[in-house]
Amino acid sequence: MKLRWAATALVVVAAIAAGFALSKTVAGGLRDDAPESESEAPRTDGGADESAALGRLRVQADQGWTRVGLAPEVPGFQRHATIGFSPYPGLSIVAVASLAPAEDGTLLPEALRADAPKPAPGRIGGVPAWFYRGLTAGKWHLDAAVLPTTRGVVTVACAVQGNGGDIPVGCLNGVRAVSVDDAETLPPSRAIAFQQRLPAATRELDTTRVADRTAIRRAKTPAGQSRAAERLKDAYTKAANQLEPLAPDAPGGERLVAALRTTAGAYRDLQRAADNKSRRAWTRSRARVRRAEAAVTRALKAADAAAPAGKDDTGR
């Protein structure tokens, strides 16, 4: 039983990247699905677009937009990790963009998830994205779009505070392009957060698994075997706890979490057998461990096979 699960987990996300990857440019012209209307604030045509970069994130905006030196404090956007613009002269509307890990099936930052509506699918430079309109966070009102990539989710929003007026229809159209260095785009899916958390969780588990299975074999006393079995039990429990909140959104996710918890229980029994110095219980528990770890391997493969194959899934 020397299977390296970190490699298996990486295959899961690699398969997504290979199957979903469309371009390193996340946006070649952000286009809102909503039609233009007469009430829309005027856009500026012609001239050079306004470009900005922060870390891996690069944003190209309408040439009428003005880059602000320090982004405003909009909920869900860390000020020093956010690109900010003033899109409309004379209006208090701001536009912000940031790159952050996917942490929830909505793909939104935590501060914007409360009462978030079902996302509306749209396209960004020919690449699928999700749009959330009419969001509220504290005193702020926002229209936002989320653009998942293999290095996290780009969130772009037009926002206004308090009684600063309405957000013009098509405000997000002013974002002409968004790119993330060394990243591939992914069609939006509620499974993305789970799939992107999976490699780190299983890599940490695999490190403990290899070290402590060796420790069990080399232990000179039942006490040494017990300590190693306890560490393995804790490692499987930790991996299950990390993945469980996101598992319902990912095909095969709940099966994998259940297999991880079963394996944690098998190592708990192995620990007890060592504590009781029972050779018979030890033999039974080792057989249970082998079966449980085989089930984890099958669950990882099933999660890989069930990963969304390019489908824009807006289901909740």
Each residue's pLDDT tens digit, 257-310: 999 999 999 999 999 999 999 999 999 999 999 999 999 999 999 887 776 544
pTM for the predicted model, two decimal places: 0.76
What is residue 14's predicted lDDT score, i.e. its pLDDT?
Answer: 37
Per the listing, tokens 């946006």 go with: 27
> What is the spatial distance between Cα 237 and Cα 265, in angstroms, rounded to a whole number?
9
- Cα-based distances in Å from 89 to 67, 92, 93, 280: 12, 8, 9, 79
More confident residue, 164 or 216: 216
State residue 47's pLDDT score.
Answer: 53
Spatial distance between the Cα atoms of 37 and 194, rounded to a whole number of angstroms: 38
Encoded tokens for 95: 């536009």
Per-residue model confidence as pLDDT tens digits over 105-160: 999 999 999 989 999 998 765 678 899 999 999 999 999 999 999 999 999 999 99
pLDDT, one tens digit per residue, over 206-254 is: 999 999 999 999 999 999 999 999 999 999 999 999 999 999 999 999 9
What is the tens place of the pLDDT at every residue in 4-51? 444 334 333 333 333 333 333 334 433 333 433 333 444 444 456 788
User: Which residues in 263-280 are b (16+ Cβ under 10 Å) and which e?
Assistant: bbbbbbbbbbbbeeeeee
277 neighbors 222 (Cβ within 8 angstroms): yes
Q: Could you tell me whether strands 94-100 and 127-137 are parallel, antiparallel, or unpaired per DSSP bridges?
A: unpaired
Closest by CA position to 267, among listed 230, 214, 241: 230
Query: What's the confidence (pLDDT) of residue 169?
Result: 84
What's the rounded mean pLDDT across residues 169-177? 88
**CATH second-level architecture of 22-180?**
Sandwich (2.60)
**What is the residue type of 25?**
T
Stated length of the chain: 316
Cα 239 to Cα 19, 92, 180: the distances in Å are: 26, 45, 29
pLDDT (0 to 100) of residue 144: 95
What angle (nearest 5°) sits at the alpha carbon of residue 64, between those of residues 63 and 68? Answer: 95
* Six token digits for residue 176: 């002409």
- Quote the CA–CA distance of 61 and 177 in Å, as a whole number: 7
Work out the angle between the directed axes of helices 279-306 and 5-20 (0-180°, nearest 10).
10
